[in-house]
Amino acid sequence: MARHSGDPLLASAALALLEQATSAGTWALALPQRQLLWSTQLTRLLELPGTPALDWERFPEIFAPGSRERMAAALQACLNHSTAFDEEVQVLTARGRLLSVRALGQAVHDASGALVHLSGVIKDLSAEKRAEQETQSLTMRLGTTLASITDAFVTLDRDGLLTYVNPQSERLLHRESRELLGQPIWKALDDNRPEPLRQNLTAALTNTTPLEFELFCAVPGKWLELRVYPFEAGLAMYLRDVTEKRQAQEQLLLLQTSISRLNDIVLITEAGAVDAPGPYIVFVNDAFERHTGYSRAEVVGKTPRLLQGQRTQRAELDRIRLALRQAQPVRAELINYKKDGTQFWMELDIVPVDYFNRGLTHWVAVARDITERKAAEDEIEHLAFYDALTQLPNRQLLMNNLRQALSHTANPDKNGALMFIDLDNFKVLNDTRGHATGDLLLQKVAARLNSCVRLRDTVARLGGDEFVVLLEDLGDDPQLASTKARIVAQKVLGALCEPCDLAGYDYDGTCSIGITLFNQHQQSVGDLLKQADLAMYQAKAAGRNAICFFDPGMQALVTANAALTSELRQGLRNQDFVLHYQPQVGREGCMVGAEALVRWRHPERGLVAPDSFITQAEDSGLILPLGQWVLETACAQLAAWAQRPETEKFSVAINVSVRQFRHPEFVEMVMKAIEQAGISAHRLQLELTESLLANDMDVTIAKMGILKSAGVTLSIDDFGIGYSALSYLKYLPLDQLKIDRNFVKDVLTDPNDAAIARTIIGLAQSLGLGVMAEGVETEAQRDFLARHGCHCYQGYLFCRPLPIQELEVFIQGLPQTSV
């Protein structure tokens, strides 16, 4: 059986550091027993959960099918013939990821030449492979980019000499590259007036900043736009013929004079491509400057996109672009932004212009400011569809958007996701810091949620601390849609975990997220909301600060749990529960008491063990009346035993759940049960779980102290498998630690379990506590425990749990000295 990194062959700290630094893991095969050992780094590399369960014969299974046969042969050759190997292969991780690795192995002999073990290394080559691919890709992209540049493009050294000339530059300058290379750029463009160009290029080199300017160049006889970009070896320069644009600018001066005095906004652009980066603005009137705050000089040569911002309607822009591509006039209402960032509404008419019968040359837009009208419309809509506190869409708008998302017929296979987000422990913040602080947190959460999603996604607040995110258009592939939804959820989880300043109060919060996927083939709005809600509660049940996807099993589980809760409630009404008792024995094998274990006499399923219903009783809150019944019944049994000499010294142990213990009236409930039964408090033993130590330690210690002062015996049940807050044990008023049956079961065969059992016994002795072992089934287990200081036992070696009638028969059959 494979083992983890506790062996000397793998336990070296230096080796662990080396493995981490090299992204490698090690293994070894100890001979002759053929024990396969793994390093922790190797299990992480292979994404294996816990200790791997592979032995030597199954070791090749970690390699991908294409590499498995070759590695199996290499491993066998290394074992049989001491043949070392060094192979580049692929492994398949436990999570299904395919990794490229380098696998090395060698045989190790002792001084006499005998083979003592095999050693091997598996190194992750994924990063190296990616680097090689990225380098190749970069080289290809660079070559493709240079080849695809449509403008004239040259490079210069730091003295201004041409070092590269593309074909477009040759055509523009009417000279071949062999004539141009090595020549100063100013001589190639204008030998008569070189100084302006030389000065601009020197400034670009000195300041290491890009430079863009226009210059009339005598050699081609054209106005050229020069865009200069410094780099380490010199300058890269684009040259573009802008002669026609300069001429057009002169013509536009006439238009500017005629329409600059209009009150309506007028904007004229070239009729270039409607997609990025054009079309370019060639004229704006005075009204444009007054309304937008941009001067004419700031916008000419730019695109109308400078007026667009976060809330500019993308769908409306797409409609405008479609009309422009078809050279059709179009009317639209757009949200635009002034130079100072102020948002305003613009109603505009765009018409094509055929200038001097040369075909479509310009677009003319005439616009009016309709901000006041839109503000009135928006206020009415906002009151109806938005949350007043967070300004997020409310339930009504969310439902509208969700119905719309489910009604699209253009692509019914397109997937979306609905995400339920609930803030963890929000009530605690409200109760301790006040509702004003809670409201401030909700507002900050709303802002952070909006920053995590796309503009077309919906972030809504349902009420309280519940938020919903609707993600649409996640693609046709459900698996890919799931991945995208998880990425957004992880982004949300991270954003809401960031510390938050609530008016001077530093708050660290978490959230629980439930997600369900959908497409147009699927369910109703109500079903989707219910599924996301179920997934969110599943995330809370998983420990909070978690993400959970809905699956049909959740609905089935909820239905089953609801049915089980109903049956439990009916069972409590019908008194269908009964206690079985398992004897506990002391040092000489004499019975000293019993543990009370609840059973359910189900009318259809017969006798049901607690594993099948206790969890649901906890979740539903029925553990409180059930636990009270167990307490009162156990106390009544103690009272009955106290009347007989042979049983008057018996104690009864009962299990107490976390929810019971946390109940504000739990201590009073225990004291009342003891008083009503008229028993000695120290005969009642409460077995508490380690999860009580996870939080609220002050409250836990205080309650235990009251019970201890009253004489109740306190024990930690199943010690070692739960929270194990050892630092708190010295503060807890305990009487006993109880060794869990999982450690007792393999105490004779598993050195780790034996070590844990010895440690618990030693810890109890050092703290002056008693110790009891449960699950003792053999004499050998009892003898082991006795040798190390544990003399109280419970298990099938002595007796199984029995109904009280059978237990009484068992007690009567014991030797008189045993009782």
Q: What is the DSSP string of 63-103?
A: B-HHHHHHHHHHHHHHHHH---EEEEEEEE-TTS-EEEEEE
Tell me, what's the pLDDT at 729? Answer: 76
CA-closest candidate to residue 30, choices 96, 85, 107, 83: 107
- Higher-confidence position of 438 and 1: 438
297-316 per-position pLDDT tens digit: 999 989 888 999 999 999 99
Tell me, what's the pLDDT at 414? Answer: 82
DSSP state of 503: T
Q: Which two tokens stand for residue 454?
A: 């796309």
CA angle 65, 84, 33 (to 5 degrees): 80
Is the per-residue pLDDT at 54 higher than 70?
Answer: yes
> What proportion of the chain, given as a percentage, has pLDDT over 90?
42
Q: Which two tokens stand for residue 129?
A: 């492979």
All residues at 6 or more sequence positions from 9 whose CB lies less than 8 Å from its CB, including other chains: 28, 30, 37, 117, 119
Q: Cα separation of 259 and 678, whole Å?
A: 104
Is the per-residue pLDDT at 798 higher than 60?
Answer: yes
Where does the pLDDT of residue 357 fall: very low under 50, low under 70, confident under 90, or very high at 90 and above? low
How many residues in total does the chain contain?
819
Say if residues 781 and 747 touch (Cβ distance below 8 Å): yes
494-527 per-position pLDDT tens digit: 999 999 999 888 898 899 999 999 886 666 788 8
For residue 733, the SS3 value is coil
pLDDT average, residue stretch 587-615: 91
Confidence (pTM): 0.46
25-45 per-position pLDDT tens digit: 999 999 888 888 888 888 888
Q: Going by DSSP bridges, is the β-strand pair 736-739/713-719 parallel, antiparallel, or unpaired?
A: parallel
637-665 per-position pLDDT tens digit: 999 999 999 999 999 999 998 889 989 99
Range of weakest confidence among 85-99, 419-433, 554-568:
554-568
Is the per-residue pLDDT at 109 higher than 80?
Answer: yes
Mean pLDDT of the chain, nearest integer? 86
Residue type, 651: S
Rg of the chain on CA atoms, in Å:
40
122-179 per-position pLDDT tens digit: 999 888 888 787 777 775 666 566 656 778 898 999 888 999 988 888 888 888 888 8
Residue type, 151: D
Is the per-residue pLDDT at 22 higher than 90?
Answer: no
111-124 per-position pLDDT tens digit: 888 899 999 999 99
Q: Which two tokens stand for residue 188?
A: 């190639």
Q: Going by DSSP bridges, is the β-strand pair 222-231/211-217 parallel, antiparallel, or unpaired?
A: antiparallel
Q: What is the rounded (10 degree) CA torsion for 695, 701, 706, 712?
A: 90
- Higher-confidence position of 369 and 19: 369
Tell me, what's the pLDDT at 800? Answer: 95
Tell me, what's the pLDDT at 744? Answer: 93
526-541 per-position pLDDT tens digit: 888 888 998 998 888 8
Q: Cα separation of 764 and 190, whole Å?
A: 96
Is the per-residue pLDDT at 733 higher than 70?
Answer: yes
